[in-house]
Chain A
């Protein structure tokens, strides 16, 4: 038995509705708000119910054959490169504070080009360094945005 793509999606959203609904009770209410016609929990409660009902309806309705099977939706995808780009983006998020805009962005762009198959050093550096410097100049000199140097430079004095 294989699962239909739409049914799988509906199942995910039904779970989301249940989890979301579970955490609605964690929303603190101000004193006296419990009996107010509208409080901080009203909309989230309604949303949890609505999403639950909609995804349940989709789950019990007959499968839409055009949607195909779940496995076919994920077949033949090139996950490797996307995964590497994802790691690179996470690293960029960590490094931008410590290494500063110039170094971290250059590393990110060079890394991105390399992940996607560019191996020529001239292109790797030629397409990243000038762009990073032009962008940095635009931001700091023309638009007046302050970009702090990386923490590492402050640590080094």
Chain B
């Protein structure tokens, strides 16, 4: 293991990789600060740029972008109460009131130190947990993998939020359906191609990610114009105030960071839960354990209320890499995009990665730590300068995002059909977004669909068509039971709510 760590360290500290971490954090922060664009878009936009790089460098760049985007989202949350990323919504609860009191600089510093500490502690956990889990998962069989994928997909749906569970399940199934388009890898027969040669290879993951996130988010910002917050952000940055923290404030932060890092990391490891749930859980936990006097400060600029979600969301980002790197199963939309990128580099994430390409495995983990340092040392002081880039007017920004998305996909295949396909996919994505359907489960379903089919096929062939493989091995059974529990809990909750409402509210004729 030590050999692997040193090999990863030597890869991560190569000048090109250090430059990529810095560039990634910088670009991620900029995109994260833009209203409407999140980390998935930021990472998807980076994929075409990374094609010429080796897998470690590409992944290092994307890990930097991920952290940067989360930090950029925190900046907008604190300065103007407009979180660019769902994972930083809880940051605004106390960050924005602090900024209103003229302590925006201090709030940004608390966010940066908390993110750094959360990310660092989680990177250490990852250092220990990932190889251990990777070794265990080497004994997994096809049936176990199938069960794990079912768990990943059901967990994403279960954590989708109130009223969204069925929609998330629908989108997951839709994603798996899209993955069946093209040639069946086992039988070699065409499925749902309708005689179109351009569909024989199936839909590319990059095309789907770009059109459902980058393209549709950019077009939605035109379709549903929201208040342009960039001038407010610039104004807020002019009155940052001091970024220095007193000894008392640091003392208050330290235990919060410790608790929230652990909570954030383990929440991130769970498939489906991620930075958003981790940040809310950490905020709630801090408020619950605070004294009555401190509780009153929550929502009015409490240091604990700001440090907790910021620590937890960064720790969760690192945690979400555990299932990706060790099992080859992404637990969130963001890690699904990263997995798509890895596969396109010719690297198959999973337990074999740890054995066969330890330099990729370890360099990613170590670059996360470096990314946290870059965020603290470079991004925090550079925030006022990064924000100047926000002055780019929307009428110029949107066509650039469209261009980078289209050309990024076109450069892979040099097939104009892909551009037209992207327009269609973006139009469908916009329609579904307007109907309030989440996009991340679809992406996850799409990427796991073909792997799930392959593992199910293998498991059924081995068991001679019997479904007994689902309960023969205790580990398969336990994973499937957990999946059933994940799925049943929100559905039972919905059903109970429906029964309750049925008794009290008469139907108003709406279908």
Contact = CB atoms under 8 A, between A and B. Distances in A.
Q: Do A and B come from one complex?
A: yes
Interface of A: 1-10, 12-13, 16, 20, 23, 27-30, 33, 36-40, 42-44, 47, 50-51, 54-55, 57-58, 61-64, 66-67, 69, 73-74, 76-79, 81-82, 85-86, 89-90, 92-94, 96-97, 105, 108-109, 111-113, 116-118, 123, 127, 131, 135, 139, 143-145, 148
A6 B511 CA distance: 10
A30 to B, nearest CB: 5
A13 B166 CA distance: 12
Contacts of B396: 113, 118, 123, 127
11 contacts: A3-B511, A29-B189, A30-B187, A36-B465, A47-B180, A51-B177, A62-B501, A86-B427, A97-B416, A118-B395, A131-B400
B227 to A, nearest CB: 14
Contact of A73 (B170, B186, B434): B434
B464 A93 contact: no
Given A73-B434, A79-B223, A2 B510 contact: yes
A7 B509 CA distance: 13
Contacts of A73: 434-436
B427 to A, nearest CB: 7
A113 B395 contact: yes
Contacts of B507: 62
Nearest to A60: B511
B224 A40 contact: no
Interface in B156-185: 163, 166-167, 169-170, 173-174, 176-177, 180, 184
B437 interface: yes
B173 A112 contact: no
B173 A77 contact: no
Contacts of B461: 37-38
Given A9-B437, A38-B460, A116-B222, A30 B189 contact: yes
A44 B419 contact: no
Nearest to A117: B395
Contacts of A63: 510-511
A109 B436 contact: no
Contact of A89 (B187, B406, B437): B406
Given A2-B510, A145-B411, A9 B456 contact: no
B345 interface: no
Contacts of B416: 93-94, 96-97
**Which 10 pairs from chain A and chain B are nearest by CB?**
A112-B399, A37-B465, A93-B419, A116-B395, A40-B184, A9-B435, A38-B457, A40-B187, A37-B460, A51-B173
Interface in B455-511: 456-457, 460-461, 464-465, 494, 498, 501-502, 507, 509-511
Given A38-B457, A44-B177, A63-B511, 17 more contacts: A5-B435, A9-B170, A27-B191, A29-B187, A33-B187, A40-B187, A43-B453, A43-B456, A51-B170, A61-B498, A73-B435, A86-B427, A89-B406, A92-B406, A96-B419, A109-B399, A113-B399
Interface range for B? 35 or more
A54 B168 CA distance: 10
A64 B161 CA distance: 14
B41 to A, nearest CB: 17
A86 to B, nearest CB: 6
A23 B192 contact: yes
Contacts of A113: 395-396, 399
Contacts of B426: 86
B510 A58 contact: no
B452 to A, nearest CB: 8
B10 interface: no
A5 B434 CA distance: 9
Contacts of B502: 62
B100 interface: no
Contacts of B180: 43-44, 47
Contacts of B174: 13, 16, 51
B399 A116 contact: yes
B235 interface: no
